Structure 1
């Protein structure tokens, strides 16, 4: 029986062969492992939370399946290093070698809602109202005013990111 992780959703699906896909979810539990392994064909898993939350069982699952597990230590958008975390996240997302990707937080609501919102704003060009609406759907309309303000104000225009243009996903259009 397949049981998907809590709050599983798709952030990006830009290819017919499902190779350039980013999923979002809550923290996968053992009952979700079969679903993840047999349906998502992941290469990378990115967790936004605390390293101490990574259980031995989850670590073993990721290792046995060859997933590259990356942990960004993060409590909330109030963290001092939040801009650095988001910059590193964008570097991973802008490299097709990391795809398919599953990004998750504990419940798949606020932290991953911020990450999803930023990807939708910066890369996909979504409107702020659309981002807010989706954030509300996943959080049960429990508004995180700080989260929404962070998404709204976040800007990469002053940041230089060294990228290998040959590794950009196909949905990125550059001049």
Structure 2
């Protein structure tokens, strides 16, 4: 079993795992967001490779200059880019477009972004968590969620059991009391 110092460390580790599960799995699911991992240096220094991005769907009309958005390179294709909106544009047909650029890139992106390409706006980012997400296959098949829930459940169970087992009832003395020596 854990020594006296091990129990608080294990409890803190459990709390950290619960926080990580909330930030990386629960909040994205509840808000309808999608997670992506930064693979290139185009958004450094703010979002270096390995950063996990949580991207929340937004109406196209709500997007503004300065927003970080994720969009499909080609409409209907799975490949995406996450860059910052640097300006707005309009096509000859009157369709509103967004001009984007990676923070670390010297030039803006070649093609303007149309509404149909936009996947969402950056909700929040978690540095280095993308490496873990990629290692478990971007948790698209639910295995990571089940494993996380199982580990957290097991941690809660063992912590609770440890707290209950660790309590010893006070000893009661029955019988005669000695008075004096």
User: TM > 0.5 between the two?
Assistant: no
Higher RCO by CA contacts (8 Å cutoff, separation 6 or greater): 1
TM-score category, normalised to shorter length: under 0.3
TM-score, length-scaled by structure 2: 0.23
Structure showing greater Rg: 2
Higher strand fraction: Structure 1 or Structure 2? Answer: 2
Higher helix fraction: Structure 1 or Structure 2? Answer: 1
TM-score, length-scaled by structure 1: 0.24
